[in-house]
Structure 1
Amino acid sequence: MNHALLFDEDFVAPNRAVLRGRRLKHIRSVLGASLGDQLPVGRVNGLMGSGEVIKLTDSEAELLVNLDQQPPSPLPLSLFLAMPRPKMFRRILQTSATLGIKDIWLINSYKVEKSFWQTPWLSDEHLQENLTLGLEQAKDTNMPKVHIRKLFKPFVEDELPSLLQGKVALVAHPGTATPCPTYLNKPAALCVGPEGGFTSYEVGKLEEAGCQGVHLGPRILRVETAVPVLVSRLFDACL
């Protein structure tokens, strides 16, 4: 936690916030904070700054907050991600938030098992929890939005084409002819398949919607590795 992310409900006054639970534990046991210490903080979808510890007990920490810094600029990227295995989903979500991705779409694919959609990590509470961890790692405040689409064909045919307008639209798929581009300076959309990749039919439908197939070379990467590698190639300035 490189800064504490503050939510509206944490504020007890315009410039005072109270932290409990995980953030309090971090402040006490990891940072070893004491009265008078200045801690980095940021308000969700707002400014960043510092918080002076004015009260510290076993149950809560009260901070006098001064917010005067802008958060990092978001990446101009929409990520369309075939629903990953639950055991890696949390890591991918946190990594995406850390990299500055603000527009995340979870979509279906033939190789996505139905059970993946039943994971409790898709609840609003757990989505916010993992996105928060990613933002705290990056010292960012702008909360990403996650959209869930469980039907591949209706989404790709009816919604995706309009979402790709004005963007460099790519689908990462091994075996395609074009290497993944680098140093983009314009809005982009990136489609990443499940373990094993999209099927040929799905790649075709994505290309019909406006995507170009690209590859990362002969090596086959896990999704949790492919996402940050692809993003770092497209937008090297994020790293």
Structure 2
Amino acid sequence: MNLILLYTSDFITPHRVQISGRRHQHMRSIHQAQAGETFRVGVLNGLLGEGTVETIGEHSLTLSVRFDRAPPTPLPLQLIMALPRPKMLKRTLETAATLGVKDLWLINSYRVDKSYWSTPLLRPDKIREHLLLGLEQAGDTRLPRIHLRKRFKPFVEDELPALARNTRALVAHPYQAAPCPAAQDRPTTLAIGPEGGFIPYEVEKLREAGLNTIHLGPRILRVETAVPVLLSRLFPLTF
């Protein structure tokens, strides 16, 4: 936990907070927080700053806080992904949040198993949990927006053309594609397929929606690997 995320419900006064639960336990057991010690804090969807520990109890901890800077700049990206298998979904959500993705569309695809859509990990509270872990890792406060689309064709035909318009519109596809373009800080729409990739029909529909196919070379990557590699190639990321 590189950042202690705070919520409006934590505030006792405008400059004092009380936290409990997972964050309290993490600060006690991992950080071994002591009174007077200072930590990085941030308000969810708000500013970053510092918090100084005032009291440490068995069930809660209080900090005096001040905020003086904005969170990291988001990536100018609309990320569209075929729904990964549940075990990979957790890591993908955390990675996307860590790297600054703020709009993530999870869509259906021929190679997406129907059972994936019934996983408890798609519950709003579970999605939020993993996004928060990614924000804490990155030191960010802006919560990503997650959009679920269970039908491929209506999404690609009715929504995607408008999303992709006036952006660098790309679909990662390892066959008959151009090399990944150079990093640019510009609005981008990027689609990433499931394990095994999009089928030819889906690739053609994505092209019709305005997306150009790109590849990363001869190696076939897992989705959880492809996401950070693609984002690091497409944007001038600084860490």
The 8 Å contact of residues 99 and 238 in structure 1, kept in 2 or not, is answered as no
Aligned Cα root-mean-square deviation (Å): 0.9
| Structure 2 unmatched ranges of 5 or more | none
1:123 alignment counterpart: 123
2:217 alignment counterpart: 217
CA deviation profile, 1:180-221 (whole Å, cap 9, x unmatched): 112112100100000000000000000000000000111100
1:65 alignment counterpart: 65
Distance 1:89 1:176 in 2: 27
Task: Verify: 1:171 aligned to 2:146, yes or no.
Answer: no
Matches within 5 A, 1:113-192: 113-192=113-192
SS in 2 for 1:18: strand
The 8 Å contact of residues 77 and 187 in structure 2, kept in 1 or not, is answered as yes
The 8 Å contact of residues 104 and 145 in structure 2, kept in 1 or not, is answered as yes
Distance 2:171 2:32 in 1: 46
2:86 alignment counterpart: 86
The amino acid across from 1:98 in the alignment is: T
The 8 Å contact of residues 41 and 48 in structure 2, kept in 1 or not, is answered as yes
Distance 2:50 2:70 in 1: 12
CA deviation profile, 1:114-136 (whole Å, cap 9, x unmatched): 10011111111111110000001
The 8 Å contact of residues 167 and 188 in structure 1, kept in 2 or not, is answered as yes
SS in 1 for 2:237: helix
| Structure 1 unmatched ranges of 5 or more | none
SS in 2 for 1:91: helix
The 8 Å contact of residues 75 and 238 in structure 1, kept in 2 or not, is answered as no
TM-score, length of structure 1 as denominator length: 0.98
The 8 Å contact of residues 53 and 63 in structure 1, kept in 2 or not, is answered as yes
2:52 alignment counterpart: 52
Task: Verify: 1:7 aligned to 2:12, yes or no.
Answer: no
1:21 alignment counterpart: 21
The 8 Å contact of residues 185 and 236 in structure 2, kept in 1 or not, is answered as no
Task: Verify: 1:111 aligned to 2:134, yes or no.
Answer: no
Shift of 1:17: 1.4
Distance 1:238 1:152 in 2: 34
SS in 2 for 1:237: coil
Shift of 1:238: 4.0
Distance 2:56 2:19 in 1: 10
Aligned length: 239
User: Larger deviation: 182-191 or 72-81?
Assistant: 182-191
